[in-house]
């Protein structure tokens, strides 16, 4: 879909700090992260809502989410908790009309900062983007951890 930012990332016409890629999905760092290590997982097939995707695709998205969550924790991110979030449709504050899963590590004492950033996300005002260098560093760290846990499927 030509006006979808996530489809543009999939096509390579917009930059992204890639964590994982395969034939079904792409995982990359959120450019407006709620916390360190915030990753988005998107299906390669354009669908606005998760129910528009075939069940095996949905299962794969959550399998990848599980692996990324493990990689984040191996790096010490979100040891005390994480959000695995799917905003499914505009009424659920889905800002990009392409199904996607957020994996957002939480840290001690991140409540007020997280609440402020979340408030911006909900209103559609995302603020300044994270520096690409920082996102690339986090993506490389996650790629390394994914390769350590399963060398054949990291990407």
Query: Which are the catalytic amino acids?
Result: 100
Altogether, the residues listed in the chain come to a count of: 155
Residues 6+ apart with CB under 8 A from 134: none
Output the CA–CA distances (angstroms, integers) from residue 40 to 14, 104, 109, in the order listed.
15, 9, 23
Residue 83: helix, strand or coil by DSSP? strand
What backbone torsions phi and psi does residue 119 show, to the nearest 5 degrees? -60, -40
CB of 69 closer than 8 Å to CB of 85: no
d(CA 41, CA 100): 5
């Amino acid at each position: 879909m030509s006006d979808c930012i996530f489809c543009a990332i999939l096509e390579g016409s917009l930059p992204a700090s890639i964590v994982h890629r395969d034939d079904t999905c792409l995982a990359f760092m959120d450019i407006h992260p709620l916390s360190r290590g915030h990753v988005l997982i998107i299906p390669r097939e354009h669908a606005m809502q998760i129910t528009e995707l075939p069940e095996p695709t949905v299962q794969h998205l959550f399998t990848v989410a599980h692996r990324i969550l493990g990689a984040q924790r191996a790096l010490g991110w979100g040891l005390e908790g994480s959000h695995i979030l799917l905003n499914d449709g505009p009424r659920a504050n889905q800002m990009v009309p392409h199904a996607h899963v957020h994996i957002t590590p939480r840290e001690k004492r991140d409540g007020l900062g997280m609440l402020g950033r979340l408030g911006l996300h909900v209103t559609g005002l995302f603020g300044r983007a994270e520096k690409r260098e920082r996102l690339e560093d986090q993506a490389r760290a996650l790629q390394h951890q994914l390769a350590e846990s399963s060398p054949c499927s990291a990407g």
